[in-house]
Structure 1
């Protein structure tokens, strides 16, 4: 029965192409299996490759370990402090905060591997001339390895030194102790004594190089400061000399200078200022005296003034007058005013009054004289003060430039003093050999070799083997395009899976004779699935094809015919592979005449039908090989033969040729209801399968689905009995081990 191209049950060419593109572009797409299970299956598939690679790596590791010379590692431990010990309590050249930077320890580790340090160690131990050193590292000295003719002794020495330096750097290891300030310095060689010597010398030279760098930086700083001090000294002398010369030219005589805490001159007391201050004080005093004298001179009567009251003469005269006044009063009480004694006393009183008046007048005259003298002195002082003020003003104008000279001298003096103090401090700090590196453990001669370490080397070889095996398996998986599992059929091809046939060690035809065998159960499962592909159940006519030969299509055709015949149906098996027939050999039937004769014009079909040993199964062999099988299959006679045979048989099963490079299978597919497409597990590339399916569809054939043949369930990690109930015959799984293809 021809299959119409418009049949909705037939998959389209675009679906096959889309399925192939999806599988090609996104191989990690939807999968029914977990990722870890896929990895495990890949490991099982390539277990022999993995085992071989790991075994080879282990063998190489063992041989290399046994051939390696023993090496000894000596270790010395030091403590590197962030801050340098400050013995003198004088700040050194380096900043104390510099050691707290994150780069400090990284710098120290790099210095421990410096080329200059290796050269110092080589010179200290004279390793360039030590033949034992080269022997301890398995190296040959330069002259022994030189092939360019004789070398100059200096060239030999230079090359030896470079060779020694490179060997030292290649065999020293710097290992910081985590979360501490400790560092392990390890050196490895074939000589335990030499390893210990070099490890100890390495630390000693590291400490020495650190101190040398500090001393060198201090010496450079001292030299720089000496140059700066010399220049500042000259500038200071010049600025002080300029200030003195200018003061001399301008008659600026400094009596006293005051400086602040920074050494800057804040005020100066000159001779002119001191003179003006003294005269101004005298002027103030003279002015006060003049005011007082003027006040006394203009106060009126002088009788009750202080000068009069305190004058001894006037006081004595007044005392005598008071006595005479008392005596006169006493006389006037007893005598008349004309009494001679009274008149005599009166005349004495008058004489004393005249004397008092003269003395009082003299005192008043002295007050006027004192006022005139005070006024004259004040005026004289005012003239002198005015003269000094004019001179001081001129001197102050001159002092502006003088202060400029003075400030320049002060600045130079401050710089000079600061640099001189720093110079002394650096000199003290540079002469004290303090280091921030302390030796914790000295290197001891190792008693046992550190390498080769057989367990470690074997572990590394095992890891390398596993890694190489993983890379190899990954590469093999990437280049392997075969369909490996039933899930791959749905994921990669987007075609229904009719079933899968296991890989067995015996002849599959023999296995078919046992209904309880794995093969029989597998083909019965395929037959059951195939019965669901059409509305009327099991297709009455279908062909079996594959991409290429050897994928089990002939065996599958025979097996399906046998399984269908076992149910009481009459089945005709036709060998339509007119290029390489095989069913007659499987059933031990003569192939002298067959399908080729029918297609060539033979009208009698019944004589060409052979009964087989299988119940209900008959065979039309291929017959003689025609020169052009495609021409015979391309006419309508083949479809008419199938229609005619379906009148005598319940089902017609056709063994069709492979699809690749042949036109036979698409022609056969048009004459039947559909095809069952065989795919050999892990063999046929996906591109070939998709191309074959696409070609069948383009030829008008309907593909019912795919049968995965030669499926090794153990190799894929499924175990025995995968998908077929309880193990194909209740315990026969042990008999099925081996692995012979089913076709």
Structure 2
């Protein structure tokens, strides 16, 4: 029997994503398994609702195709124009339009885009194409005939045509380019091209007209300003001349910088003061230098003066003396001191010394004379400066008003010259207006309509259908109370999942599936046995109650399969049918139910008398027996407790097939006698509310719920084929029976 246990443990690893402790995924890493579970849940939800998803998407696709085929074709024709930013100026450094400076290109282009979308330009286009009288244009563009007459008709038609033009016009102004696109949409390709080209032509014309109007306005403005400025200039010059005569101010033609940065002309007194003051400064500097030379000449030896040493009159004498001295030295070497030649030469040297001293004395006298002359000149200039300073200070009071009047004359003259120059420029360029807008590509009638775009409409319809189907699937799954897959057991009920039992084929039965040890159902219950072996610290529970929230969820089949599975471990197993209202185990085991648990509890039979031997190795069975009139009272008696205690002593494993929990008190009573409770849930039919209510009832009596068994699970239909279907089919053979 040991190999059977090994196969059960192996199936628990390959057929399930749960271990015996109810924790998810020993076979997979925790983080990666969570990621797989999330994807699997999404896929499962879509797979269960695949008919809704496919139906909604198919309907949306057909609707998109129908709309595309029934929509009137629309042609788009595009003309491109280049817009250069040129701002005409009135004055040299001023702009006509301060709203669009050269540096603000984006604002300029936005302004041009607004002009292109303006009603005035649309009105010019309508007039140039005679659209106000073209009923075919109005009908083709989707407009309705107007039931008006007279002026009301004309005004209404104008608003209607302009509205149709603007509603079908699209202007694109790229930020990184100066080329704008003018696109017009129309059911007629020729009309679309005509309107787009007309927009480009009329935009250029309106731009030229605005520039011409701006130039004419500038000339009129300048003419007015020139006349006013001329009058102000004449008045200011007359005022300046009259005040100069009255104050006796004579303009010397010079300039001097005032504190305000202006350069008014100098008066004669101020000019003389400036000249004499400059001469005084130069004379004073020369006098100081001459005085220093004279003082140096007074204190220094006469022959050490630099002027004496460098004098042209003294240098030849010094050279001549040096020659005579040299000759005298040679003569004294040959003759006596009283020799005539020696005496004569010595006399000549003495004469030269006297001449040198006379010249040096004269040079020092010249230095003194130069100092005295400069000192006298300085004193004379100082007196003149003081006189002119007094005169200039008297003039400065009268000069203040003169300078103000002079600045007014200069300002008026500068403004007059600038206005006159700008007027000449505008007059020269008045007849040569150029546009800063040019056509790059003219619009041409398109060969194919741009709308409807059938591939795009189908893609959008498909996307819309997918979105609606996803929303419908989400809402259905969100409000769906039914437990459909293993992951929802813990999420919706808060209990561990012990195992998953697959649905049996249509041509088979539970008995046939359980006969084959390698069938998917047998493998699932072997895995469930392994999970129960790790469900408590002491191993598999000795007394196990198998129950469910409602009938026909597979609890009886699970009880039989678990008994068979534990019997293969060489354990003595007792299977008890405790469903005293609708017993069914004896039918599955093909045994009699004439005597059973009811007879034992009422004392009519002993344990040995009610115990039957089954075809399963090591498994005994106690049927329900005759149906009692008071099942709850019978199960609440002390006799049941004593019977369970006796069964614990005689058997290694006792499995109780209990009645459903909802609506009956039997299952909670039996749960108090069992070591553990295994809760059976049928896939696709068990509701969360019912299951939670049943679990609460069992928890109220402190039942040890070790986990849940999910039965009748179709992995392929639920989209969980990879996770739960591999272990069930692996290694199964129809002829492998026990």
TM range (shorter): 0.5 to 0.7
The equivalent of 2:144 in structure 1 is 140
Q: Which residue of 1 aligns with 2:305?
A: none
Which position in structure 2 is the counterpart of 1:190? 187
After superposition, the CA RMSD in angstroms is 4.9
Aligned with 2:544 (options 542, 545, 554): 542
Match of 1:286 in 2: none
Structure 1 residues 526 and 265, CA, compared in 2 at 3 Å: closer, same or farther?
A: closer
Q: For the residues of structure 1 that align with 2:527 and 2:209, how far apart are their CA atoms?
A: 90
Aligned residues of 1:214 and 1:430 also touching (Cα < 8 A): no
Q: Give the Cα separation in 1 of the matches to 2:220 and 2:454.
A: 59
Change in 2 beyond 3 A, CA 1:456/1:594: same
- Please give the residue correspondences for 1:526-537 in structure 2 after superposition, counting only pairs within 5 Å: 526-533=528-535
Q: Secondary structure at the match of 2:200?
A: helix
> How many angstroms apart in 2 are the aligned matches of 1:592 and 1:238?
142
CA distance in 2, matches of 1:54, 1:692: 40
What is the CA deviation profile of residues 439-472 of structure 1, one whole-angstrom value per residue up to 9, with x for unaligned ones?
1211111222222232232223223333333444
Q: How far 1:59 moved relative to its partner?
A: 1.2
User: Per the alignment, in what secondary structure is the counterpart of residue 204 of structure 2?
Assistant: helix
Deviations 1:544-601 (A, max 9, x none): 1234455432332233234445667665544444566555665677889876676678
Q: 1:657-676: per-residue Cα shift (whole Å, max 9, x none)?
A: 44456544332211112111
| Shift in CA distance, 217/710, structure 1 to aligned 2, threshold 3 Å | farther
* Equivalent-residue separation in structure 1 for 2:159 and 2:588 (angstroms): 81
1:77 to 75, 80, 90: 80
Residue equivalent to 2:59: 56
Deviation at 1:137, TM superposition (A): 2.6
Q: Alpha-carbon deviations, 1:209-237, whole Å to 9, x = none? A: 44455556556666665665565455444
2:331 — aligned with what? none
Counterparts of 1:214 and 1:581 in 2: how far apart (Å)? Answer: 104
Render the CA deviation track for 1:584-627: whole Å, top value 9, x for unaligned. Answer: 66567788987667667866677776777767463523854857
CA distance 1:233–1:481, shift in 2 (3 Å): farther
Deviations 1:227-257 (A, max 9, x none): 6556545544443343344345456677979
The answer to whether the 8 Å contact 1:119/1:165 transfers is: yes
Q: Which whole-Å CA distance do the structure 2 matches of 1:550 and 1:430 have between them?
A: 102
1:440 aligns with 2:413: no
1:243–1:500 Cα change, 3 Å: same
Equivalent position SS for 1:719: helix
1:578 and 1:233 map into 2 onto residues whose CA distance is: 127
Q: Which residue of 1 aligns with 2:301?
A: none
**Residues 161/474 of structure 1: CA separation in 2 closer, same or farther (3 Å cut):** farther
Q: Deviations over 1:494-542 (max 9, x none)?
A: 7543221113342445533444422222123212332344577543321
Matches within 5 A, 1:700-739: 700-714=702-716, 715-719=718-722, 722=725, 724=727, 727=730, 729-730=732-733
Residue of structure 2 equivalent to 1:171: 168
Q: Distance in 1 between the 2:664 and 2:205 partners?
A: 87
User: Structure 1 residue 195: deviation in Å?
Assistant: 0.7
1:266 equivalent among 245, 264, 271? 264
SS in 1 for 2:435: coil
List per-residue Cα deviations over 1:252-277 (Å, max 9, x = no partner).
677979899xx98732678x999x99
Alpha-carbon separation, structure 2, partners of 1:393 and 1:239: 26
8 Å CA contact 2:236–2:405 kept in 1: the answer is: yes
Distance of aligned partners of 1:539 and 1:190 in 2 relative to their CA distance in 1, 3 Å threshold: same
1:675 correspondence with 2:677: yes
C-alpha separation in 2, matches of 1:138 and 1:57: 27
Distance across 1 between alignment mates of 2:35 and 2:88: 70
Residue 127 of structure 1 aligns with which residue? 131
| Residue 246, structure 1, aligned to residue 243, structure 2 | yes
Secondary structure of the residue that 2:171 maps to in structure 1?
strand
Q: 1:653 to 1:76 in 2, by over 3 A?
A: same
Deviation at 1:200, TM superposition (A): 0.9
Give the match for residue 36 of structure 2.
Answer: 33
Partner SS for 1:33: helix
User: 1:478 Cα shift?
Assistant: 4.1
Alignment of 1:443-458 (within 5 A): 443-458=443-458
2:140 and 2:572 map into 1 onto residues whose CA distance is 89
Instruction: Supply the distance in 2 between the matched residues of 1:166 and 1:634 (Cα, whole angstroms).
Output: 88
C-alpha distance in structure 1 between counterparts of 2:602 and 2:157, whole Å: 94
Cα distance in 2 between the residues matched to 1:221 and 1:547: 96
Aligned residues: 589
Which segment is superposed worse, 438-447 or 170-179?
170-179
State the partner residue of 2:367.
none
Secondary structure of the residue aligned to 2:721 is coil
Query: Do 1:71 and 1:191's aligned partners in 2 also have CA atoms closer than 8 Å?
Result: yes
Cα deviation 1:368-427 (Å, max 9, x = unaligned):
xxxxxxxxxxxxxxxxxx999999987764343233222222223323433444455456
Residues 516 and 438 (structure 1), Cα distance of their counterparts in 2 relative to 1, 3 Å cut: same
SS at match of 2:677: strand
Preserved contact between residue 547 and residue 660 of structure 2 (Cα < 8 Å): yes
Q: CA deviation at 1:191?
A: 0.9
